[in-house]
């Protein structure tokens, strides 16, 4: 049932990577559909390489006109639908926010990225007002360093907390393995340490992220049923 949208009107924030990481973790125990609404079709390219999980279906022929039909069709067949919109503020990106049970806003700790993330947060609020429902939203810090917390990151975290915007505890750390997934194809679990350093750390990172996503979604399910 859950529709998860990766949202950032800026390219390069880590939307596609976070989505791929999440999709492969979910696909271990559930079927997943990915709506690749990016005109460059990065997910399609990844899915054509060997090792792509059979549990994941990729839908890429998305237009503004067929968006709702394609999404509904996927959601009726598959429990998880993940949407990867283009890194621009277009109509499909807005629809993807409005359709979501969870909006994940990937954010690199830079002021420029934060300004764009703010646009996504504002658009979530607009959609909430128009649909009169709450849309769960979480910031996911991406490409962070394992060693240090930059001042910008610290500042952004404090500012987000003050504004009442929730962040995932897990950060997607800047790891070669996350990039390698797209060059070798398949999942993080298929990478071995001769290809890329410490893939197991990337897997642990991915699991922690997926667990947090599931925590939010399972919380929603509980609220719905009680």
Q: Does 108 bind another protein (CB under 8 A)?
A: no
| Interactions with another protein, residue window 111-170 (CB under 8 A) | 119, 122-123, 126-127, 130-131, 169-170
Candidates 156, 163, 170, 164; CA nearest to 212 is: 170
Candidate segments 12-20, 45-53, 193-201, 203-211, binder of another protein by CB under 8 A: 203-211
Q: Which is nearer to another protein, 3 or 109 (CB)?
A: 3
The nearest distance, CB 224 to another protein, in angstroms, is 11
Can residue 25 be called a binding residue for another protein (CB under 8 A)? Answer: yes
Contact 109, 153 (CB under 8 A): yes
Radius of gyration of the chain (CA): 17
Complex with another protein: residue 48 or 218, whichever CB lies closer:
218
Smallest separation (angstroms) from another protein to the CB of 84: 16
Size of interface with another protein, in residues (CB under 8 A)? 48
**Which residue stretch of 34-42, 95-103, 110-118, 174-182 sits at the interface with another protein (rule: CB under 8 A)?**
95-103
Rounded CA-CA distance 218/108 in Å is 27
Mark residue 185 as left, alpha or beta (left: phi above 0; alpha: psi -120 to 50; beta: remaining). left
Instruction: Please give the sequence-ordered ranges of beta strands (E in DSSP) within the chain, or none if there are none.
Output: 3-6, 32-36, 56-59, 80-84, 102-108, 136-144, 172-173
- Choose between 48 and 221: whose C-beta lies nearer to another protein: 221
Of residues 71 and 104, the one with the C-beta less far from another protein: 71
Task: Specify whether the backbone of 196 is left (phi greater than 0), alpha (psi in -120 to 50) or beta.
Answer: beta
Instruction: Verify binding: residue 200, another protein, rule CB under 8 A.
Output: no
Window contacting another protein (CB under 8 A); options: 42-50, 71-79, 110-118, 188-196: 71-79
Distance between CA atoms of 212 and 59, rounded to whole angstroms? 25
Q: Does position 39 bind another protein by CB under 8 A?
A: no
The arrangement of strands across the sheet holding 32-36 comes to 56-59, 32-36, 80-84, 3-6, 102-108, 136-144, 172-173
Q: Where do contacts with another protein occur on this chain (CB under 8 A)? A: 1-3, 9, 25-26, 28-30, 64, 68, 71-72, 75-80, 89-91, 93-95, 98-99, 119, 122-123, 126-127, 130-131, 169-170, 207-208, 210-212, 214-215, 217-219, 221-222
């Amino acid at each position: 049932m859950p529709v998860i949208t990766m949202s950032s009107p800026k390219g390069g924030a880590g939307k596609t990577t976070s989505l791929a990481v999440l999709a492969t973790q979910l696909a271990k125990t559930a079927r997943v559909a990915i709506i690749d609404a990016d005109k460059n079709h990065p997910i399609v390219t990844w899915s054509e390489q060997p090792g792509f999980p059979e549990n994941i279906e990729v839908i890429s022929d998305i237009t503004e006109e067929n968006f709702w039909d394609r999404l509904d069709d996927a959601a009726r067949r598959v429990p998880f639908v993940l949407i990867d919109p283009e890194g621009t503020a277009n109509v499909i990106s807005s629809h993807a926010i409005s359709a979501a049970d969870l909006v994940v806003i990937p954010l690199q700790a830079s002021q420029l990225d934060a300004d764009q993330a703010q646009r996504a947060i504002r658009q979530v609020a607009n959609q909430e007002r128009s649909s009169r429902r709450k849309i769960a939203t979480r910031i996911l810090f991406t490409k962070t360093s394992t060693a240090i917390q930059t001042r910008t990151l610290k500042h952004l975290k404090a500012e987000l907390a003050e504004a009442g915007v929730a962040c995932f505890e897990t950060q997607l750390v800047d790891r070669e393995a996350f990039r390698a997934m797209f060059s070798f194809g398949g999942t993080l679990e298929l990478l071995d340490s001769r290809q890329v350093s410490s893939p197991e750390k990337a897997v642990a990172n991915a699991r922690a992220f997926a667990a947090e996503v599931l925590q939010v979604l399972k919380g929603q399910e509980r609220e719905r049923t009680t």
